[in-house]
């Protein structure tokens, strides 16, 4: 049996090991294996980054309430440019006052609107400018209110302040729909049952966005009804830091004679793939070559631009105006056109329903209904390849692996 | 040669889809038939969300043409017989009629119950 180790022996050996060098000394590395930049450069950059975080970048950490939080609004020393190069710290009470003032300003717009109404006929371009002016006015008013409440309050953002990427001078952060505007759109379309194009014209939001708002609002309400938790703090925080389009409730007496702010151009012509080529069409001088003909020149089935835009009815309104109808007459004409269109749509729907009733036959069975639709074998045509024919085709390869086949669902049943 | 009204399986793996065809009995299942009378999609479709409707199966059929082919002596396969008897072209076999009657009875019974519940609720 070997002699037991004494405690003194053990401690001595341990101290001996601790004194001995643990690893072989290596020369200082100049760069890491995976990186081209030298270690010194990396360290330098990291230090600079932390310097920026603790210096100029510090105010970005705490966003100013009711304002965007973009790099473009600060100079390189971390001072808010629009605050007059002096960074200011507002107390909690001041912040509350500021938020309230902002909310008040968002609810209304100044009287300069009257001139705006007269200038509407000049088209989309002028409208955009107008809305820009309106937004500016709203901001100015807001600024005035703030000055009244507190001399040291912040002025509203200018276009330069809405640049998230300082190196990209041409990128401006675009406004998003405010929560009130989204709710108003939902109420307008779902509760009042107005058509989507009308909502688009009324709120100055594109047809597609109206559809998206209605769908998302519907889902939101459904989730609330189901008791699901929504990410409200998140949406609130994001919306506070983005420029938003406010909702102007024209039914309120204080907003009488005002017009909702246009969110985006709603009547832009969508580029049809058939029109992407350049065409030179020789036409006789004596011949009238209209937009209808231009559409046909590109593709026989292509509608003219006047009918492909999202709101052809607006063109008709302007045409009436040019013809010299009075305001009441124009209104009556527009209403008549709308009613006619609705009548036509209703008739088509009824006809479709009637046809379905005639051809559809439901046979209830144990687990599911068997729905029989009457078709005609004649539709397949002589060679059996007519697209109206029913059934899987014979002698034709299936096209589902072909390029450009859309397989994602294009509509949702809700 | 014997004419048959039968199903021809198309579609993909685990996603069957049938053409209801009139064909000579001895030809291959998926060969070109005399006539495509319609289609039968055996995968039940869910009812529209938010309604109390039942799931359903989609069948397209040229009823008059099917009646003609039965009239000139085409012999339906069992499955085809079941489908054709549902629209009243043939006498029901395979319990189609019994089940249909039961379902209709159950549905009318359920409907007659609903107003009472509504009254109770009020």
pLDDT band at B51 (very low <50, low <70, confident <90, very high): confident
Chosen domain end from A309, A328, A359: A359
Q: How much of chain B, in percent, has pLDDT values that exceed 70? A: 89
* Same domain as A282, residue A238: no
Would you tell me how many other CB atoms lie within 10 Å of the CB of residue A99? 13
B32, closest residue in chain A (CA to CA): A394
A186 and A206 together in one domain: yes
The domain in which residue A232 lies consists of 174-268
User: What pLDDT, on the 0 to 100 scale, is given for residue A129?
Assistant: 60
> Does residue A255 fall inside a structural domain?
yes
Q: Is A395 close to B32, i.e. CB distance below 8 A?
A: yes
Give B60's contacts in chain A (Cβ within 8 Å).
372-373, 375, 390-391
Distances in Å between the alpha carbon of B82 and those of B66, B92, B95, B96? 13, 7, 9, 7
Contacts of B44 in chain A (CB under 8 A): 367-368
Looking at the fold, whether A247 and A330 belong to one and the same domain comes out as: no
Distance, in Å, from the CA atom of A158 to the CA atom of A136, rounded to the nearest integer, reads 8
Phi, psi of A3 (to 5 degrees): -65, 145
User: Does any domain span residue A83?
Assistant: no
Using a CB-CB cut-off of 8 Å, the residues of chain B touching A363 are 86-87, 100
Asked if A317 and A349 sit in the same domain, the reply is yes
Same domain? For A260 and A312 the reply is: no
Residue pointed to by tokens 């629209």:
B87
Of B50, B61, B96, the CB nearest to A372: B61
Compute the nearest-CA separation of B60 from chain A (Å). Answer: 5
A366 has a chain B CB within 8 A of its CB: yes
Nearest to A304 by CA among A289, A293, A317: A293
Residue A370 · residue A363 · CB < 8 Å:
yes
Closest approach of B106 to chain A, Cα-based (Å): 11
Looking at the DSSP bridge assignments, the partners of residue B41 are B58
- Asked whether the beta carbons of A102 and A142 are under 8 A apart, the reply is yes
- Of the candidates B17, B19, B54, the beta carbon closest to that of A368 is on B54
Domain assignment present for A123: no
Q: Which residues of B touch A389 (CB under 8 A)?
A: 36
Q: Among A317, A338, A359, where does a domain finish?
A: A359
A372: enclosing H helix or E strand: strand A369-374
Q: Chain B: give the shortest CA distance to residue A175, in Å.
A: 35
- Whether A304 maps to a domain, the answer reads yes
**A176 near A239, Cβ under 8 Å?**
yes
Judged on CB neighbours under 10 Å (0-12, 13-18, 19+), B7 is buried
Asked whether residue A388 is domain-assigned, the answer is no
Going by their DSSP bridges, the two strands B75-76 and B3-12 should be labelled as parallel
Determine, for residues B32 and A362 on separate chains, whether the beta-carbon distance falls below 8 Å: no
Q: Say what the pLDDT of residue A182 is.
A: 96
What residues in B contact A356, CB-CB < 8 Å? none
Interface test with B, best of A356, A377, A380 (most B CBs within 10 A): A377
Closest CB to A380 among B17, B36, B83: B36
* CB within 8 Å of A216: residues ≥ 6 apart: A182
Tell me the pLDDT of chain A (414 aa) as tens digits. 455 544 444 444 444 444 555 667 776 777 778 888 888 899 999 999 999 999 888 888 888 887 888 888 888 888 888 877 444 444 444 444 444 444 444 444 333 333 334 334 344 445 556 566 666 666 666 555 544 454 456 777 788 788 888 889 899 999 999 999 999 999 999 999 988 998 999 999 999 999 999 999 999 999 999 999 999 999 988 898 889 999 988 888 887 778 888 999 999 998 999 899 999 999 999 999 998 899 999 998 898 888 899 999 898 999 999 999 999 999 899 899 989 988 999 999 999 999 988 889 998 888 899 999 999 999 988 888 888 899 898 888 888 888 888 888 887 776
User: Rg (Cα) of chain A, in Å, rounded?
Assistant: 34
pLDDT of residue A344: 95
CA distance A128 to A264: 8
According to the model, what pLDDT value does residue A206 have? 95
Query: Taking CB atoms and an 8 Å limit, are B86 and A377 in contact across chains?
Result: no
What is the pLDDT, as a whole number, of residue A2? 55
Q: Which residues pair with B61 in a beta bridge?
A: A374, B38
Q: Is A370 within the bounds of a domain?
A: no
Q: pLDDT value at position A125?
A: 47
Mean pLDDT of all residues belonging to chain B? 87
**Interface with chain B: mutation pick from A389, A392, A400, A409, highest number of B CBs within 10 Å:** A392
Within 10 Å of residue A124's Cβ, how many Cβ atoms?
13
From chain A, pick out residues whose CB is under 8 angstroms from the CB of B38. 375, 390-391
Q: Rounded to 5 degrees, what are φ and ψ at B17?
A: -155, 135
- A106 burial via Cβ count (<10 Å: 0-12, 13-18, 19+): buried
pLDDT of residue A134: 65
End-of-domain residue from the set A241, A268, A295: A268
Is A35 within a domain? no
Q: Cβ(A216)–Cβ(A190) under 8 Å?
A: no
The answer to whether A258 touches A113, Cβ cutoff 8 Å, is yes
Average pLDDT over residues B33-54: 91
Grouping H, G, I as helix, E, B as strand and the rest as coil, residue A74 is strand
Triad A181, A183, A187: Cα angle to 5° = 115
Shortest distance between the Cα of A364 and any Cα of chain B, in A, equals 6
Select the more confidently predicted residue: B115 or A359. A359
When divided into structural domains, chain A yields a total of 2
Size of interface A-B (CB pairs under 8 A): 88
Question: Which of the residues B18, B32, B59, B84 would you substitute to probe the A interface, choosing the one with the greatest number of A C-beta atoms within 10 Å?
Answer: B59
Rounded-to-integer distance, Cα A162 and Cα A70, Å: 7
Q: How far is CA A1 from CA A4, A7, A8, A14, A177, in A?
A: 9, 18, 20, 24, 87
Residue A377, chain B, CB below 8 Å: the answer is yes
Whether A157 is covered by a domain: the verdict is no
A285 and A262 inside one domain:
no
SS3 B12: strand
Contacts with A291 (C-beta within 8 Å, 6 or more apart), sequence order: A304, A305, A306
């Amino acid at each position: 049996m070997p002699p037991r180790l004494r405690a003194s022996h053990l401690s001595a050996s341990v101290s001996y090991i601790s004194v001995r060098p643990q690893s072989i000394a290596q020369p200082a590395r100049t760069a890491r294996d995976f990186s081209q930049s030298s270690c010194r450069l990396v360290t330098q950059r990291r230090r600079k980054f932390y310097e920026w975080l603790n210096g100029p970048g510090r105010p970005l950490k705490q966003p100013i309430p009711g304002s965007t939080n973009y790099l473009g609004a600060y100079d390189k020393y971390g001072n808010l440019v629009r605050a007059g190069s002096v960074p200011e710290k507002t107390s909690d009470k001041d912040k509350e006052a500021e938020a309230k003032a902002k909310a008040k300003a968002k609810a209304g717009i100044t009287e300069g609107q009257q001139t705006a109404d007269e200038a509407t006929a000049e088209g989309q371009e002028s409208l955009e400018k107008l809305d820009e002016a309106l937004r500016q006015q709203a901001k100015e008013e807001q600024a005035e209110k703030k000055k009244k409440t507190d001399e040291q309050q912040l002025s509203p953002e200018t276009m330069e302040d809405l640049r998230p990427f300082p190196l990209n001078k041409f990128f401006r952060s675009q406004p998003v729909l405010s929560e009130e505007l989204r709710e108003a759109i939902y109420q307008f379309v779902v509760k009042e049952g107005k058509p989507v194009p009308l909502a688009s014209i009324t709120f100055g939001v594109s047809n597609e966005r109206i559809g998206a708002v209605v769908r998302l609002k519907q889902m939101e309400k459904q989730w609330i009804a189901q008791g699901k938790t929504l990410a409200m703090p998140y949406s609130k925080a994001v919306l506070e830091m983005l420029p938003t389009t406010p909702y102007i409730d024209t039914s309120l007496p204080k907003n009488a004679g005002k017009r909702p702010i246009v969110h985006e151009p709603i009547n832009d012509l969508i580029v049809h793939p058939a029109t992407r080529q350049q065409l030179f069409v020789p036409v006789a001088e004596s011949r009238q070559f209209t937009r209808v003909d231009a559409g046909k020149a590109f593709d026989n089935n292509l509608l003219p631009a006047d009918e492909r835009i999202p709101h052809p009815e607006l063109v008709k309104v302007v045409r009436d105006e040019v013809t010299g109808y009075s305001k009441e007459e124009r209104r009556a004409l527009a209403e008549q056109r709308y009613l006619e269109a609705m009548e036509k749509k209703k008739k088509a729907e009824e006809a479709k329903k009637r046809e379905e009733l005639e051809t559809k036959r439901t046979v209830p069975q144990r687990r599911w209904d068997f729905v029989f639709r009457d078709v005609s074998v004649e539709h397949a045509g002589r060679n059996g390849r007519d697209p109206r024919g029913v059934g899987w085709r014979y002698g034709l390869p299936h096209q589902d692996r072909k390029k450009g086949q859309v397989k994602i669902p294009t509509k949702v049943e809700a | 040669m014997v004419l048959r009204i039968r199903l021809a399986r198309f579609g993909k793996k685990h996603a069957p889809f049938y053409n209801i065809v009139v064909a000579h009995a001895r030809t291959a299942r998926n060969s070109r038939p005399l006539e495509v009378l319609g289609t039968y999609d055996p995968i039940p479709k869910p009812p529209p969300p938010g309604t109390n409707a039942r799931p359903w199966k989609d069948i397209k059929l040229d009823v008059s043409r099917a009646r003609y082919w039965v009239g000139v002596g085409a012999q339906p396969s069992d499955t085809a017989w079941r489908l054709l008897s549902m629209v009243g072209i043939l006498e029901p076999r395979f319990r189609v009629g019994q089940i249909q009657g039961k379902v209709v009875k159950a549905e009318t019974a359920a409907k007659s119950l609903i107003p009472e519940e509504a009254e109770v609720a009020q």
